[in-house]
Amino acid sequence: MGAVLGAAALGFAHAAPAATWLPPVRRLLPRLSGVGTDGHVALTFDDGPDPRSTPRFLDELDRLGCRATFFVLGEMLERHRALGRRIVRDGHELGVHGWRHRNALTVLPGRTAAELRRAAGLVAEVAGAAPVWYRPPYGVLSAEAVLAARRAGLRPVLWTAWGRDWTRSATPGSVLAALAPGLRGGATLLLHDSDCTSAPGSWRAALGALPAVVTACREAGLRVGPLRDHWPDVRQRRPPTFPTINRNFRNDDRVAL
């Protein structure tokens, strides 16, 4: 009986969502939802690095004189390490988006934590420094993901405004229109520099919207930059240690609790 109850309790602990989608929670946990320094707008990109699209974003950001945070997928970064290094070399920062693009509430217990550790280790290796930020796929934080992030010294960060750039019908204009109400001091903007989990070619809408988004912010007197400038105090407080990569880990491995 005890074993049954134990398993049930573990199952619940794994599945319990952090309810991060709810506006009241966002008010209670403003940092988790991305609310940062007033006068600054954080620019973030998810799902890369992707050799078909990410270099275009890097070129455009360079032209705009703008830096950003890239929440990368481990399986993408493993295949495109040189591109990951270029992101860092260009002055941007890498965050952790997971190893594969999974909803934390639909995977086996233990899998999210193992994949998060693996992705964070790879980001540390490629960037030459431990990552600070974690954004779960779909913005879904399970209890396991929260705990794993904490153990890895990562801070979960969602977003305050998104461009809805992942849809087949997205255009630069629709992306700008989706973001416009949220272009205010302290905002964290979510865009995608890859279409690996969304409609083919949808990244072009985000790329096309970038100049107008950055210009709109600057005309409103707002600085645009990466998360490290959104909360300048965070980096100094973060733990110095970091888990190493388990090179024998495979995506198909069953992970036990």
Under 8 Å between Cβ of 203 and 53: yes
CA distance 224 to 134: 20
Give the DSSP H/E element, type plus range, for residue 177. helix 172-179
Backbone angles phi, psi at 157, to 5 degrees: -135, 125
Taking CB atoms, the residue at the shortest distance from Zn ion is: 46
Min separation Cβ 219 and Zn ion, Å: 29
Touching Zn ion, residues 80-99 (CB under 5 A): none
Touching Zn ion, residues 116-175 (CB under 5 A): 137
Min separation Cβ 75 and Zn ion, Å: 12
Q: Collapsing DSSP states into helix, strand and coil, what is residue 22?
A: coil
- Binding-site size for Zn ion (CB under 5 A) equals 3
Nearer to Zn ion (CB atom), residue 58 or residue 194: 194
Min separation Cβ 29 and Zn ion, Å: 20
- 246 vs 75, 112, 114, 250, CA distance in Å? 14, 15, 10, 9
Nearer to Zn ion (CB atom), residue 47 or residue 144: 47
Nearer to Zn ion (CB atom), residue 46 or residue 75: 46
Min separation Cβ 4 and Zn ion, Å: 36
Under 8 Å between Cβ of 163 and 191: yes
First-to-last C-alpha distance (Å) of the chain: 19
Nearer to Zn ion (CB atom), residue 54 or residue 222: 54
Min separation Cβ 256 and Zn ion, Å: 27
Nearer to Zn ion (CB atom), residue 36 or residue 137: 137
Min separation Cβ 229 and Zn ion, Å: 22
Q: Is omega for the bond preceding 49 within 30 degrees of 0, making it cis?
A: yes
Nearer to Zn ion (CB atom), residue 46 or residue 229: 46
Touching Zn ion, residues 29-68 (CB under 5 A): 46-47
CA distance 48 to 15: 27
CA distance 146 to 180: 30
Residue in the structure block whose two tokens are 């990410």: 54
Torsion of the alpha carbons at 231, 233, 236 and 237, rounded to the nearest 10:
-100
Nearer to Zn ion (CB atom), residue 144 or residue 165: 165
Backbone angles phi, psi at 189, to 5 degrees: -95, 135
Min separation Cβ 101 and Zn ion, Å: 5
Binding site for Zn ion (CB under 5 A): 46-47, 137
